[in-house]
């Protein structure tokens, strides 16, 4: 596979043809913040936190879905990008009901961590305060739509890793939300295998294990990447 030479933040690096800017940056040790990206599943560029500047391109591009090109010049940390990322984070907080102090993922939340890292000590936009339900019909897990940021990581983990196809997205715009099967209570789902991969994929406290109290819900994302890697390397195929 041919290699491409590009520049990221003034550092000249090489990346395989077909690699994304995010992959190239990670291999070079250059951090780019993400929310919807999850190692082990395909990227969809939903959150736009990973936006980068590319020389010669007027608009900002998502690093997770933009492929590297020969001679590409990329900037990942500029004043313009920092302003955009902070705006996105503020809009995410304003769109739903995120109360970190009483969240099961307090201290283990990627949204909360990014807000700290970007100095987001207040939200400049009007809070929407939508009325979202809490689905605790499943015997092991719960779904709090108030804390969902629609990153679709749970959907991709359910379809791509577990292969159950339980989780999906219904509605549009501000009314978009995660559903189970044909928009029925999670506990009534016939396709759910209760594997918990969607819970481990969640970056916030939207999906949680029952019984976890504030600050106790830590997600094991490494398990998902391990499963995908093992499948790709065919380590689980029984010998004849």
Contact between 68 and 21 under an 8 Å Cβ cutoff? The reply is: yes
- In the chain, residues under CATH classification 3.30.70.20 are 83-231
Place of tokens 């830590």: 218
Whether pTM exceeds 0.85: yes
- In the chain, residues under CATH classification 3.10.20.740 are 3-77
**pLDDT under 50 in the chain at which residues?**
238-240
**Strand bridging mode 11-16 / 3-8:** antiparallel
Look at the domain 3-77 and name its fold.
Ubiquitin-like (UB roll) (3.10.20)
Look at the domain 83-231 and name its fold.
Alpha-Beta Plaits (3.30.70)
**Could you read off the pLDDT of 97-107 as tens digits, one per residue?**
999 999 999 99
Tokens of 10: 């003034």
Which pLDDT value is given to residue 221?
Answer: 75
């Amino acid at each position: 596979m041919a290699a491409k030479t590009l520049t990221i933040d003034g550092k000249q690096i090489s990346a395989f043809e077909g690699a994304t800017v995010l992959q190239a940056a990670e291999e070079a040790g250059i951090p780019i913040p993400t929310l919807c990206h999850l190692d082990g599943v395909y990227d969809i560029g939903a959150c736009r936190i990973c936006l980068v500047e590319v020389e010669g391109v007027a608009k900002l591009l998502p690093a997770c879905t933009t492929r590297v090109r020969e001679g590409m010049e990329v900037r990942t940390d500029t004043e313009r990008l920092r302003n955009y990322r902070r705006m996105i984070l503020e809009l995410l907080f304003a769109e739903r009901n995120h109360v970190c102090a009483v969240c099961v993922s307090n201290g283990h939340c990627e949204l909360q961590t990014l807000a700290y890292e970007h100095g987001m000590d207040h939200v400049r936009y009007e809070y929407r305060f939508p009325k979202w339900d809490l689905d605790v019909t499943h015997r092991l897990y719960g779904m709090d739509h108030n804390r969902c940021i629609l990153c679709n990581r749970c959907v991709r983990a359910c379809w791509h890793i577990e292969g159950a196809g339980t989780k999906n997205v219904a509605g549009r715009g501000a009314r978009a939300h995660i559903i189970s099967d044909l928009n029925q209570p999670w506990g009534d789902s016939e396709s759910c295998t209760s594997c918990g991969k969607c819970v481990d994929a969640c970056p916030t406290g939207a999906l949680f294990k029952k019984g976890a109290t504030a600050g106790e819900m830590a997600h094991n994302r490494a398990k998902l990447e391990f499963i995908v890697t093992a499948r790709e390397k065919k380590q689980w195929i029984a010998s004849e």
